Each structure stands twice: as structure tokens, then as C-alpha cells.
Amino acid sequence: MVKAGLTGGIGSGKSEVSRRLAALGAVVIDADKIAREVVEPGTPGLAEIVEAFGAGVLRPDGGLDRERLGSIVFADPGKLKILNGIVHPKVGARVEELQRAVPEDAVVVYDVPLLVENGLASHYDVVIVVDAPDATRLERLRTLRGMAETDAKARIAAQASREERLAAADIVIENEGTLDALDARVAEVWKDLSGRIPRGDRPRPAS
């Protein structure tokens, strides 16, 4: 098994890379998706968030208002730390559960937005960073997600710097060009990852 940590700043296009790797055969474990699952209505995670931040972070239907919560925590490092302390342990437990079900000969891609911020690089055989200039990321957040410029800048500032992510990278996927260029680069990376699977990890035939 090869464990690859995939990360990139908000607006870098990490999700596009994740989808392409999954299509090529990777088993993708998406930390963001799991983070949403562990705070769904009725979960202990959501109850803890409401206790910490108040009922104002809930939508009328009882679900989590992510935009409202984001505007609170990304402007205050202390509150972001509180939120991470609630969500991250629950995400970690679910990731371990999913990992136990993965075949031994798989390439597992862990899609982890805050890999660098949380010092998780050593947990993976290889770290892949999707990179784009901050100005490009800001423009994508404004035009593709409809995010206010102040909110977009706050979210970028709350994450690791571009230089910090690149320093942690074993493989860099530059994503400021065309989708065709991204496809070609992801195909190269997939070939690299597939070649890293140790022979001893391949399943043995039944006797």
C-alpha cells in the first residue's frame, strides 16, 4: 500500500486533482467530506459546536451553517483552534476505520486540506501539494465560489503559506493553467504513485 497525503490551499484546485486520481484508480479518503459527516444533525460533533459557538451557527433546518461558522473562526485563530479540537479527533477516528477496509495493493490518497498546518506530513509515504499563486486562488474564490474578497483573504491567511506547503511537498502539481495540462500532470503523478507500491504489499493468491 502507498499512502499519499494530498493537500493544497483553498482555491488551489485540490478537489479537481482528487477527482482525477480517483478516476485513475486511487482510493480517496476525503477529510473534508468526513468532516461534514461528523457534524451532521444529531451527531455529537454538531452538539459540541453549538455548545462552543452558540445556536447562531445553525440553519433554520437544524443543519450547520458553514458560511456563518467560517466567518467566525477564520477571523479568529483561537476560535479556529476550538473548532479543530472538536472536529479533528472525530475525523481521525473515521479515517482509521476506512483505512482498515482498503486493499493491501492500493494507492490511498488522503485528501487533507490542513495537512501542513497540523504537521501530518510524516503520516504519509509521499506528500502531494497542489499549488497555485495566491492571486489566482483569490480570484477563483471570488468568481467560482462567490466569496466576498475579505472572507476569501481571511481563509487564505488562516492556512499555511504557499512557501510552507511547498517545503513539505514530495510532489508538486502546479495548477494555474488549462484542465488539459492538469490532466497530463495528474497522469504523470499517478504513474509515479503506482510505481511505489511495494511488491510485498500485493495480495498473495489463496493456497
Q: Please count the residues of the chain.
A: 207
Torsion sign (Cα): 40, 44, 47, 48: negative
| Domains of the chain, CATH where assigned | 2-26+106-197 (3.40.50.300)
Question: Nearest CA to 6 among 100, 159, 121?
Answer: 121
Q: pLDDT tens-digit profile of 5-56?
A: 999 999 999 999 999 999 999 999 998 889 999 999 999 999 999 999 999 9
- Tell me whether strands 126-131 and 107-111 are parallel, antiparallel or unpaired: unpaired
Do the Cβ atoms of 22 and 30 come closer than 8 Å? Answer: no
57-105: pLDDT as tens digits: 999 999 999 989 988 998 888 999 999 999 989 988 998 888 888 888 9
Q: What does the pLDDT look like over 166-194, one tens digit per residue?
A: 999 999 999 998 999 999 999 999 999 99
Candidates 16, 30, 10; CA nearest to 159 is 10
Q: Is the pTM of this model over 0.85?
A: no
